[in-house]
């Protein structure tokens, strides 16, 4: 009798173990899918918050009167600090509009000086087709208010799946994320003279000889006049050749819009291709400049490209601007090597 009970108990334990293995085999894939899905969804939510913040940052900056090009730069920097960004996975729109007496936009004109208009500019066009927010939706969100001028920044980001789930369609490869920010303009005037530029001159040869695979330029700090190493200044005032002023220009690129003086034409206050820019003397390695460069590390910034003859020397040097480029500063050594290294992101044809 005891032997029979022991045998039955032994068989029961084996059955329980076998049942547990079968249950684990059935539930484990489901649990793994849930865990992987949570990771993917967390990554998507994080990217979505970044996209939303970038659109908000660009719009906030734009309502103060910034140009479309400058709005693009601010929005890009908000994306690049966190996301795996390049121009192929982002579509960026800057839209401006003003409602008429009926509270609707005149979509037949993009003249921002008209009584009513609707203007759409696609600043970056990625590889995925997108459509900007419709004027009818904005009219509705404004409650068909008359004579309202608005700025809209919309960002589309092609989010790459973190792990990839081939059996879950919307998590298998890429997910298009989108956000837009609508803001009423404080002033109808748009400051549209020049572009936000940083005071670092790059010679065309640095771009031509960059690494063809990484687009790295080991030393972009190559001035073209005695006593000058590639730093620039915007106003004619020579006091802006000092280290504190240089740091100020590195921290505030809008000064290229508000303070630029053309060395060849005092009446020209808009920096464009074909103009000249004042040089800056010395190779400043001071703490303020170092701090400013640290704040620019990895960000997308616009700088002038020069080629040809630099007139004058030292503080009186005049660099000929032949193009603009978007770069990301990666490293520097101002004390020992007089060197700044950067990656070329692209030539910038939006700022002419």
What share of the chain in percent tops pLDDT 70?
80
Q: Answer yes or no: is pLDDT of 134 > 70.
A: yes
The tens digit of pLDDT for each residue in 56-66 reads 999 988 887 78
β-pairing verdict for 174-184 and 90-98 = unpaired
Say what the alpha-carbon torsion angle 281, 285, 289, 294 is, to the nearest 10 degrees: 140
| C-alpha dist (Å) from residue 176 to 129, 180, 346 | 10, 14, 24
Average pLDDT over residues 61-73: 84
Secondary structure element (H or E) that encloses residue 33, with its range: helix 2-62
Q: Are 211 and 264 in contact (CB under 8 A)?
A: no
pLDDT of residue 24: 61
In this structure, of 165-169, 200-204, 263-267, 282-286, the range with the lowest mean pLDDT score is 165-169
pLDDT band of 203, cuts 50, 70, 90: very high
The tens digit of pLDDT for each residue in 293-341 reads 999 998 889 999 999 888 888 788 899 999 999 999 999 988 776 789 9
pLDDT of residue 328: 92
What share of the chain in percent tops pLDDT 90?
39
Q: Tokens representing 54? A: 């970038």
pLDDT of residue 221: 74
> How many C-alpha atoms does 203 have within 13 Å on its Cβ side?
17
Q: Answer yes or no: is pLDDT of 186 > 80.
A: no
Average pLDDT over residues 269-296: 85
Strand partners, 95: 120, 152
In this structure, of 32-36, 94-98, 188-192, 275-279, the range with the lowest mean pLDDT score is 188-192
CA distance 100 to 120: 17
pLDDT band of 192, cuts 50, 70, 90: very low
In this structure, of 10-14, 116-120, 137-141, 217-221, the range with the lowest mean pLDDT score is 10-14
Q: Answer yes or no: is pLDDT of 261 > 60.
A: yes
pLDDT of residue 119: 95
Q: Answer yes or no: is pLDDT of 128 > 80.
A: yes
Average pLDDT over residues 209-214: 92
Strand boundaries in the chain, DSSP class E:
90-98, 117-124, 149-160, 174-184, 202-203, 216-217, 228-233, 276-281, 301-306, 318-333, 339-347
Q: Answer yes or no: is pLDDT of 188 > 50.
A: no
pLDDT band of 120, cuts 50, 70, 90: very high
pLDDT band of 10, cuts 50, 70, 90: low
| C-alpha dist (Å) from residue 131 to 93, 122, 138, 155 | 9, 10, 14, 11
């Amino acid at each position: 009798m005891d032997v029979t009970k022991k045998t039955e108990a032994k068989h029961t334990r084996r059955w329980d173990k076998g049942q547990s293995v079968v249950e684990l085999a059935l539930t484990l894939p489901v649990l793994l899918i849930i865990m992987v899905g949570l990771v993917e969804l967390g990554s998507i939510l994080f990217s979505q918050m970044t996209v939303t913040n970038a659109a908000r940052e660009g719009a906030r900056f734009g309502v103060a009167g910034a140009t479309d090009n400058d709005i693009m730069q601010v929005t890009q920097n908000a994306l690049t600090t966190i996301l795996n960004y390049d121009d192929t996975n982002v579509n960026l729109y800057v839209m401006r509009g003003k409602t008429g007496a009926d509270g609707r936009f005149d979509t037949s004109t993009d003249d921002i000086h008209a009584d009513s208009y609707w203007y759409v500019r696609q600043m970056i066009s990625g590889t995925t087709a997108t459509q900007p927010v419709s004027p009818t939706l904005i009219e509705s969100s404004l409650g068909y208010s008359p004579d309202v001028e608005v700025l809209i920044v919309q960002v589309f980001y092609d989010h790459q799946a973190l792990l990839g789930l081939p059996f879950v369609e919307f998590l298998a490869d890429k997910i298009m994320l989108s956000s837009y920010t609508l803001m009423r303009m404080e002033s109808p005037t748009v400051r549209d003279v020049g572009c936000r530029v940083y005071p670092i001159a790059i010679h065309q040869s640095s771009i031509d000889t960059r690494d063809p695979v990484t687009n790295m330029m080991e030393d972009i700090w190559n001035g073209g006049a005695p006593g000058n190493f590639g730093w620039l200044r915007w106003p004619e005032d020579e006091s802006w050749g000092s280290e504190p002023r240089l740091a100020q220009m590195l921290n505030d690129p809008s000064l290229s819009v508000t303070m630029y003086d053309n060395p060849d034409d005092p009446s020209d206050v808009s920096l464009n291709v074909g103009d000249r820019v004042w040089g800056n003397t010395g190779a400043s390695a001071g703490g303020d400049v170092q701090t400013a460069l640290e704040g620019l590390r990895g960000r997308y910034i616009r700088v002038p490209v020069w080629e040809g003859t630099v007139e004058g020397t030292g503080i009186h040097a005049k660099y000929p601007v032949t193009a603009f480029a978007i770069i990301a500063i990666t490293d520097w050594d101002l004390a020992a090597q007089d060197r700044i290294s950067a990656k070329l992101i692209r030539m910038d044809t939006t700022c002419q």
